[in-house]
């Protein structure tokens, strides 16, 4: 931790200057003192593709709200620090935001591993805290001022894993044995716990259940060990760099299984989709939104036009499907709560968030126990017939297709995985 704090201290001055430069936005809506929203975010490191995608969505919200007059008649500005995709930097960042910068509001960075380390600092300061894509972070704290924009819903570990098994159970023949592969990190551990419950519920025998160190670079021995157990289903809980290595290893080894995927972070990101191309075929994995006709909520396509017009210039994910709209929604909810309670009081703000439904570009948002979304919004998708690494393969929601739940489904599963891969 000390090393991370020293690193943060060395970077603090240039980072703050950069933050002011890139987050001030258009000309102020008035001469009033800005409402400053502070957060750390992965702008470099393995999570940067997703962090920077989220940041552009957040900046578009800021620009939109400032054009409308800001919040409470005041412009909105960001104070943002690069957490470098490193959990050790997070406590120092939030301590600085609250004790030195004295920001008005704080929100989280992207992902479970970056949210959990912030929680003790947030709780110590009694702040209301919105997080972005954190899996069951508040299950260990039960902090009443925590709210998360994470589409998993109230039973987060199960919600992100159970749909994979719903898809598997609908196939013929149904899988009977299961391998679990997970990184030794916060999100994969939480997901693996859900998978073990799913295995019991769906009657699958677990034949492989192991974690690998986050520093792993060669995934071929892992996939070979999985292959040796002859599993019908392989559930993987991984982060982006791991995901790329695991997908490549599965294709090199020729993984022989009926259904493969589940909880692989990174396959939602355009750069990884185009990097892997046809190697993705057959994978069934979670996602949180795609521009299928069934998911074009009011305002979301207008948002994407703004996002995609700015994406190339800002050097971020050109499509933005995974975190762009959710980054916008995240602050849309916070802004509505501030205007709703007409205050920045942390207790009143939390009460308002807890008691209201919010209209967003991702549809209606309402919070349930422990600040999780009241309803799950998890999708299961499958990559099919990807022929090249071109961006066009993944535009307009054509690939991957949604295979679960039924109300959003726009295609059928190709089963088994070995048939879809060929």
- The pLDDT mean for the chain works out to 91
Q: Is the pLDDT of residue 293 over 70?
A: yes
Q: What per-residue confidence (pLDDT) applies to 32?
A: 85
Q: Is the pTM of this model over 0.85?
A: no
* Residue pair 42/85 in contact by the 8 Å Cβ criterion: yes
Q: What per-residue confidence (pLDDT) applies to 421?
A: 87
Could you give the percent of the chain with pLDDT greater than 70?
A: 93
The DSSP secondary-structure symbol of 295 reads G
**Structure token pair of residue 278:** 């046809």
Q: Is the pLDDT of residue 15 over 80?
A: no
Average pLDDT rounded to a whole number, residues 33-39:
97
Q: Is the pLDDT of residue 20 over 70?
A: no
Q: Is the pLDDT of residue 401 over 80?
A: yes
Tell me the per-residue pLDDT of 316-346, one tens digit each, with 9 for 90 and over. Answer: 999 999 999 999 999 999 999 999 999 999 9
**Domains of the chain as residue ranges with CATH:** 2-151+298-371 (3.40.50.2300), 156-287+384-421 (3.40.50.2300)
CA separation for the pair 124, 282 (Å, rounded): 46
Q: What per-residue confidence (pLDDT) applies to 2?
A: 35
Q: How confident is the model at residue 5 (pLDDT cuts 50, 70, 90)?
A: very low
Q: Is the pLDDT of residue 176 over 80?
A: yes
Q: How confident is the model at residue 24 (pLDDT cuts 50, 70, 90)?
A: low
173 prior amide bond cis, ω within 30? yes
Tell me the per-residue pLDDT of 336-380, one tens digit each, with 9 for 90 and over. Answer: 999 999 999 999 999 999 999 999 999 999 999 999 999 999 999
Q: What per-residue confidence (pLDDT) applies to 25?
A: 58
Average pLDDT rounded to a whole number, residues 246-250:
98
Beta-ladder partners of 409: none
Q: What 3-state DSSP class applies to 262?
A: strand
| Pairwise pLDDT comparison (210 vs 152), residue with the higher score | 210
Phi and psi at residue 266, to the nearest 5°: 120, -30
Q: How confident is the model at residue 31 (pLDDT cuts 50, 70, 90)?
A: low
* Number of Cβ atoms within 10 Å of the Cβ of 250: 27
Q: Is the pLDDT of residue 6 over 60?
A: no
Beta-ladder partners of 260: 234
Q: What per-residue confidence (pLDDT) applies to 128?
A: 98
Q: What per-residue confidence (pLDDT) applies to 135?
A: 85
36 Cβ neighbours under 8 A, 6+ residues apart = 76, 77, 78, 79, 101, 103, 104, 105
Strand 105-110 relative to strand 35-41: parallel, antiparallel, unpaired?
A: parallel
């Amino acid at each position: 931790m000390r090393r991370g704090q020293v690193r943060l201290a060395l970077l603090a001055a240039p980072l703050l200057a950069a933050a002011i430069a890139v987050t001030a936005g258009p000309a102020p809506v008035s001469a009033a003192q800005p409402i400053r929203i502070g957060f750390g975010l992965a702008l470099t490191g393995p999570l940067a593709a997703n962090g920077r995608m989220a940041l552009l969505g957040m900046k578009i919200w800021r620009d939109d709200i400032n054009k409308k007059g800001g919040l409470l008649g005041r412009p909105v500005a960001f104070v943002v620090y690069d957490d470098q995709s490193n959990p050790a930097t997070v406590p120092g960042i939030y301590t600085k935001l609250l004790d030195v910068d004295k920001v008005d509001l704080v929100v989280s960075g992207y992902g479970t591993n970056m949210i959990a380390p912030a929680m003790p600092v947030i709780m110590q300061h009694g702040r209301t805290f919105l997080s972005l894509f954190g899996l069951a972070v508040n299950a260990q704290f039960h902090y009443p001022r925590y709210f998360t924009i994470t589409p998993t819903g109230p039973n987060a570990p199960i919600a992100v894993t159970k749909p994979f098994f719903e898809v598997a159970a609908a196939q013929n023949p149904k899988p009977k044995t299961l391998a679990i592969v997970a990184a030794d990190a916060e999100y994969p551990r939480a997901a693996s716990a859900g998978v073990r419950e799913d295995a019991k519920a769906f009657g699958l025998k677990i034949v492989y259940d192991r974690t690998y160190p986050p520093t792993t670079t060669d995934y071929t021995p892992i996939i070979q060990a999985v292959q040796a157990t002859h599993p019908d289903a392989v559930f993987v809980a991984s982060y982006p760099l791991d995901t790329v290595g695991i997908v490549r290893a599965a294709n090199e080894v020729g993984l022989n299984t009926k259904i493969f995927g589940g909880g692989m972070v990174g396959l939602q990101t355009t750069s990884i989709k185009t990097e892997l191309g046809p190697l993705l075929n057959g994978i069934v994995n979670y996602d949180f939104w795609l521009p299928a006709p069934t998911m074009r909520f009011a305002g979301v396509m207008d948002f994407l036009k703004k996002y995609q017009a700015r994406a190339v210039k800002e050097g971020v994910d050109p499509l933005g499907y995974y975190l762009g709209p959710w980054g916008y929604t995240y602050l849309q909810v916070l802004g509505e709560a501030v205007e709703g309670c007409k205050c920045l009081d942390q207790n009143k703000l939390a009460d308002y968030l807890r008691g209201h439904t919010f209209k967003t570009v991702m549809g209606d948002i309402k919070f349930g126990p422990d600040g999780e979304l009241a309803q799950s919004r998890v999708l299961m998708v499958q990559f099919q017939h990807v022929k090249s690494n071109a961006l066009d393969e993944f535009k307009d929601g054509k690939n991957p297709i949604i295979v679960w739940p039924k109300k959003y489904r726009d295609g059928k599963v190709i089963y088994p995985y070995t048939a879809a891969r060929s």
